[in-house]
A and B are shown apart, each in its own frame.
Chain A
Amino acid sequence: MKCPDCDVEMTRHAKKVIYPRSEDEASLVDEALGGVLLERHTCPGCGKGASQVQEPK
């Protein structure tokens, strides 16, 4: 995942299974994990944080 401000690769430092929070996320539920896998990334350049929900495998 690239930082939208710095265009450098962000650091993925967290993965957490959560309940889906929207219909879009509900379509991404990973049945093996029992929820959606939220990833948290932080930019090593500017410190900006960003999240994304991973596609189920």
Chain B
Amino acid sequence: MKPINIPVILGTTRRGRLSAHVARFVTNELSKRSGVLTELIDIAEMPLPIDGAGDEIKDPAFSQKMENADGIVIVAPEYNHSFPGLLKHVLDTCLEEYIHKAAGIVGVASGPFGGTRVVQSLLPALREMGLMTTFTDLNFSKVGKVFDEEGKLKDEEAWARRAANFLDELIWMSTVLRYGRENVSQE
């Protein structure tokens, strides 16, 4: 069976973003899985034109990565109880590329609620894009205390166990949905 392809999208461009540590950790955990391909997609490294919409401003490289993906992880910090505007702007440039693919959300927050509100606010948008979301999330509360100054997790073993539950389901969904896309027709 060909590998399941699950890129990780780092969904913020802000300087000093601690979500970058989270995204690297999740990408690393995914890369340990046999039969899984992954890569980190940093939206800060993408062109972000604001003078058009959809296909007009689509980044061909990002579009191809979404086309090749079987699922995606979105690492999203919570800004004012919602998602970063530039993350939504990037996601909105594609549509067909996402249809019937799995999506898992990693919420990141400086406060105690682990980005639960960014997860909740993203769900209806992802559904409208045709993505199928997991029902297990990964939540980083008080992210300023989770990593050391070098960006390493202070308790990597515990976080690896939490991430495992999230990734197990995401990989399963990505596998099942790929089978469905390729083999189960709508009449």
Residues of A participating in the B interface, judged by any CB pair closer than 8 Å: 11-16, 18, 21-22, 38, 40, 42-44, 47, 49, 51
Task: Give, as a whole number of angstroms, the nearest-CB distance from B13 to chain A.
Answer: 26
Of B26-34, B110-118, B177-185, the one contacting chain A is: B177-185
A22–B99 Cα gap in the complex (Å)? 20
A47–B183 Cα gap in the complex (Å)? 10
How many chain B residues touch the partner (CB < 8 A)? 18
Check A40–B55 contact: CB distance below 8 A: no
Task: Give, as a whole number of angstroms, the nearest-CB distance from A44 to chain B.
Answer: 4
Check B183–A12 contact: CB distance below 8 A: no
Which B residues are CB-close (under 8 A) to A13? Answer: 99-100, 180-181, 184-186
Check A47–B182 contact: CB distance below 8 A: yes
Which A residues are CB-close (under 8 A) to B54? Answer: 21
